Homo-oligomer: A and B are copies of this chain.
Amino acid sequence: MQSSPQDASGGPLRVGLLGLGVVGSGVHRLLQRNGALIGRRAGRAIQLRAIAARDVARAREVAGAGVPVVGDAMALVTDPDIDVVVEVIGGCTVARELVMTAIAHGKHVVTANKALLALHGEEILAAAQARDVVVAFEGAVAVSIPIVKALREGLAANEIAWLAGIVNGTSNFILTQMRQRGTSFDDALHEARRLGYAEADPAFDVDGVDSAHKLALLASLAFGTRLAFEQIDVAGIRDVQLVDLQCAERLGHRLKLIASARRHGARVALRVGPALVPAGSLMAHVDGSMNGIVVQGDAAGQTMYHGAGAGSLETASAVVADLVELARAARVPARDRVPPLGVQRDEAVPLAGLASHEVSTPHYLRLTLAPGSGLDDVLGRLAAACIRVVAQADVATRDAAQGVALMTAAAPGSAIQEAIGLLARGGVTQGPVACLRVESLQ
């Protein structure tokens, strides 16, 4: 059998691992444990040649005798005996420099670093294209779920209308705790920290930033467009109140942190924020630290993907799957590889953004009636502002004032905000009005 001109070797794929933290040690463990099986799947051995770690002594303890550990990561990414660099350090400074240097030295890169790709993906992918090397990142989104492969290859024949997902396990764990145990956000965050689901600084997770990094990748894969992190409208779950989770339930919905990308003609609305999803949808049943993503294609219809969104071996599963693919892809010309974002870079179109408040969806409102006003006053004002209410539920409040939760028909967020202003100025409500989008998943 003839081999491609680029690499005549039937020898092992030689891997250098950057970082031996949670993910790195998972990659090391998985390659050791399932090495024979992985080699059968890949068609040749995948050989861990060297590990670079900050704490060399500790890393040597973790890695055992089999694999040399070095402290100088730069030596590893320039090592001529390494074919592919696995970057699982995280962050955007050191990781970026190492990845760019690896590419400059003609090495393929596998990374699980969503922040790096969302913020510097254009630069990295351009450099990779210039050097004919692969940048693979299945581990960067909803790690245990092969969603990159599904969007890029499995659904390749589809015009994607929209996708929506729960892609941050920490915030989903917190919302699930709040709903199931009736606790506040602060108490649930405390519990998430205690169980190791949340970092000491949980900002990236609970403020929606991590979800937005992943959404940038998902949207680019789905629509065949350039990465556009800066176009994402991002909100987190710090202000979510238990009462809203409960009211959502009574209105036939569940409150989740949803990352969504939806095409409206030639424009795409990208958004991360707390939202209500129908209680009967599978998305409503994505609980705890799990991730779930729904994709609407024009041929496949709706498909849904569910699995762990974090974890050592879970992320390693995706990283090693990328290595298995590379074992073949490294030997063929670049044109015969699947492009990183699904289409060749020169064919990717820029994403024309659509501001979130222009998008028409149902909305959830929770408000407190001002003394002397009734529900009819609220409904009347909303109707005057062309906002139709389709469901309602009373809210038990600690003070005597009457609380009401409402579900509106589809309307743009801007119109909803205007109507909320009218209610307040008309003296119909008192205090703040809670307002959340409803993702109907249709």
Contact = CB atoms under 8 A, between A and B. Distances in A.
Contact of A282 (B30, B37, B285, B344): B285
B301 A157 contact: no
Interface stretch (A86-94, A112-120, A302-310, A355-363): A302-310
A1 to B, nearest CB: 6
A348 to B, nearest CB: 9
A22 interface: no
Given A1-B334, A282-B285, A159 B37 contact: yes
A337 B343 contact: no
Given A146-B149, A146-B150, A342 B41 contact: yes
Contact of A321 (B3, B154, B159, B331): B154
A146 B148 CA distance: 11
A154 B146 contact: yes
Interface string A86-113: 0000000000000000000000000000
Nearest to A316: B299
A145 interface: yes
Contact of A38 (B1, B157, B308, B331): B157
A155 B331 contact: no
A321 B150 CA distance: 10
Nearest to A294: B306
Given A1-B335, A34-B158, A145 B303 contact: yes
A274 B314 CA distance: 31
Contacts of A236: none
A313 interface: yes
A31 to B, nearest CB: 8
Nearest to A26: B299
A294 to B, nearest CB: 9
A210 interface: no
Interface string A256-274: 0000000000000000000
Interface in A1-30: 1-6, 26, 30
A41, A155, A325 pick with most chain B CB within 10 angstroms = A41
A110 to B, nearest CB: 12
Given A285-B282, A300-B314, A306-B306, A146 B153 contact: yes
Interface residues of A, number: 71
Contacts of A2: 4-6, 333
Contacts of A314: 299-301
Contacts of A41: 156-157, 224, 342-343
Interface string A325-341: 10011011111111100
A406 interface: no
Contacts of A145: 154, 300, 303
A30 B157 contact: yes
Contact of A304 (B305, B313, B325): B305
A144 interface: yes
A138 interface: yes
A26 B2 CA distance: 37
Given A1-B335, A40-B343, A324-B156, A307 B298 contact: no
Contacts of A413: none
Interface of A: 1-6, 26, 30, 33-34, 37-38, 40-43, 138, 144-146, 149-150, 153-159, 224, 280, 282, 285, 297-308, 311, 313-314, 316-318, 320-321, 323-325, 328-329, 331-339, 342-344, 347
11 contacts: A3-B335, A43-B335, A146-B150, A150-B154, A155-B317, A157-B324, A297-B317, A300-B317, A304-B304, A304-B306, A306-B306
